[in-house]
Homo-oligomer: A and B are copies of this chain.
Amino acid sequence: MHVFVINPNSTASMTDTAVESARRVAGPLTVIEGATGIGSPASIEGFSDEALSVPSMLAQIRMAEAGGAQATVIACFDDPGLDAAREIASGPVIGICQAGVQAAMVLAKRFSIVTTLPRSVPAIEDLVHRYGASQHCRRVRCIDLPVLALETETQHAFSLLVAEIERARDEDGAEAVVLGCAGMSEMTDDLTKATGVVVIDGVIIATKMAEALIGSGLRTSKANAYGFPRIKD
């Protein structure tokens, strides 16, 4: 299998993190092809960051599919351009927020999400609502740290995440926690160990769901809303 993992922002080290996570869990015959956003913001921390990262991402997905990719994982928790990507792709396109939320609905009755900045909280709440998980999601929390600090201040970020996950468990009654940023992916195991909470990372589960959909022979429906873009005269 051939899964394309696109990090829509332009920070290559974050792509490395995501690709590593994906490779760690992928099947032995799965090729994980990673890519970094071109000309997009260094991190996605708001709606305009999202918007600016999508056009090049779409082009990259098209190229990856031309090169054999059978499914795409968008490795950013805001699921930027998810609908647009499904429109231009033939294979399944999986957003890590939707994948994380769907897994959480299977593994727990109630979960919380922990993201980076306060400004991302309402955006993620709206995604949760759109994915039909409002009844299951106790709260979207944040550690009030910029995305890139996950790399530059890893130890500090880790401590904040541990504290916030424990708050989710104790104050929200969260039975599982979804990590709200692709950059947290490599900490998943350590966070699980440190807190004893079921911690769900979107990159990991999205990669496995990509394999699952490929293995089921399923592709994006081209029937109507996700049909290929119309060619204008």
Contact = CB atoms under 8 A, between A and B. Distances in A.
Interface stretch (A12-20, A49-57, A156-164): A49-57
A48 B41 contact: no
B46 A108 contact: no
Given A25-B215, A103-B218, A225 B119 contact: yes
Given A86-B47, A215-B25, A232-B41, A132 B105 contact: yes
Nearest to A192: B217
Contacts of A47: 81, 83-84, 86-87, 225-226
Interface residues of A, number: 85
Contacts of A83: 47, 109, 123
A153 interface: no
A216 B133 CA distance: 21
Count identical subunits in the complex: 6
Interface string A153-197: 000000000000000010001111000000000000100000001
Interface string A88-102: 100011100010001
Contacts of A102: 102, 105
Interface in A9-32: 25, 27
Contact of A119 (B25, B94, B224): B224
A51 B48 contact: no
29 contacts: A27-B27, A43-B232, A45-B229, A46-B87, A47-B81, A47-B86, A48-B88, A48-B229, A51-B51, A55-B55, A98-B106, A102-B105, A106-B209, A107-B220, A108-B225, A109-B226, A118-B224, A129-B135, A175-B224, A198-B219, A198-B223, A204-B216, A204-B217, A205-B212, A205-B218, A208-B211, A211-B212, A211-B215, A212-B212
